[in-house]
């Protein structure tokens, strides 16, 4: 069985996409890739990715890149935990362009559900895969979705880790992710709209949804040695450990 791995990148994230693809194929040589590139050079994408079997969508986005939008209070409080204001400031403010790049990846899911037969793995561009991912394939045989999420004291859940999600290719998910995309489109420039949209879809379809909670080892921003997948959150991108792992799979 093969998975289709999908993500989104602009010019600043091309080297991360390259590492994502190389690290994934090191341990999962049969996996396929579908990437959306925004404001990237056509010739570079063709030579570096499409000619090497990566299916691509290229698009141009003229949205404002000025960071003049402010994240909500809960997000700011989380960013400040253990950090100075100066360290967190670059993550408190965001631009419409950043928000678009973050949220448009969910359109990738619908495209693949409509046009492919393989199951799907949607990940952040700065993901590093460190082991084979056959567990995800097996989980999706019996579940619609596998992801990291937070259990709420109220008894519900919150999808607050959208950077690594396994998705079974089936009619149920066509409906689920259509709801997600429609809800995101209602307020594209709300940074947390993806979390809200997934929660809305969950509430509408939870009675039929077969959901599997992944352990931290499949989206680990603490870079633990036992983890299958490292996540390049802003707090670890500049660490030597993350950079050394990137170097293993770079160009």
Mean pLDDT of 24-35: 96
**pLDDT cut 90: percent of the chain above it:** 73
Instruction: Indicate if the pLDDT at residue 162 is higher than 90.
Output: no
Q: DSSP characters for 214-241?
A: PPGGGSBSS--TT-SEEE--TTTTTSHH
- Residue 158 is predicted with a pLDDT of 86
How confident is the model over 107-124, as a mean pLDDT?
Answer: 96
Q: Mean pLDDT score of the chain, rounded to an integer?
A: 90
Mean pLDDT over 108-122 rounds to 97
pLDDT in tens, 180-232: 999 999 999 988 899 999 999 999 999 999 999 999 999 999 999 999 999 98
Q: Please state the domain count of the chain.
A: 1
The answer, yes or no, to whether residue 93 has pLDDT greater than 80, is no
Domain span including residue 20: 3-249
pTM for the whole structure: 0.90
CATH number, domain with residue 242? 3.90.550.10
pLDDT tens across 65-89, in order?
887 666 655 555 655 566 555 555 5
pLDDT of residue 77: 62
Neighbours of 23 (CB within 10 A): 22
Q: How far, in Å, CA of 207 to CA of 101, rounded?
A: 31
Question: How far apart are alpha carbons 174 and 56 in whole angstroms?
Answer: 21
Length of the chain: 251
């Amino acid at each position: 069985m093969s998975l289709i791995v999908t993500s989104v990148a602009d010019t600043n994230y091309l080297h991360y996409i390259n590492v994502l693809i190389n690290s994934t194929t090191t341990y999962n040589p049969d996996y396929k890739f579908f990437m959306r590139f925004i404001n990237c050079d056509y010739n570079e994408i063709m030579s570096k990715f499409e000619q090497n079997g990566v299916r691509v969508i290229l698009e141009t986005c003229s949205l404002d890149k000025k960071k003049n939008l402010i994240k909500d209070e809960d997000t700011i409080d989380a960013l400040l935990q253990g950090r100075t204001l100066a360290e967190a400031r670059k993550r408190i403010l965001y631009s419409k362009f950043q928000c678009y790049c973050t949220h448009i990846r969910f359109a990738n899911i619908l495209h693949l559900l409509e046009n492919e037969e393989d199951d799907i793995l949607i990940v952040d561009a700065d993901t590093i895969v460190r082991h084979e991912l056959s567990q995800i394939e097996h989980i999706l045989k019996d579940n619609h979705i596998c992801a990291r999420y937070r259990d709420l004291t109220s008894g519900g859940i919150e999808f607050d880790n959208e950077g690594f999600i396994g998705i079974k290719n089936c009619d149920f998910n066509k409906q689920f992710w259509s709801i997600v995309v429609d809800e995101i489109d209602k307020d594209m420039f709300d940074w947390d709209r993806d979390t809200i949209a997934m929660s809305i879809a969950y509430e509408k379809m939870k009675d039929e949804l077969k959901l599997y909670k992944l352990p931290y080892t499949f989206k680990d921003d603490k870079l633990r040695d036992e983890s299958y997948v490292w996540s390049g959150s802003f707090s670890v991108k500049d660490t030597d450990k993350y950079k050394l792992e990137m170097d293993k799979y770079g160009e």
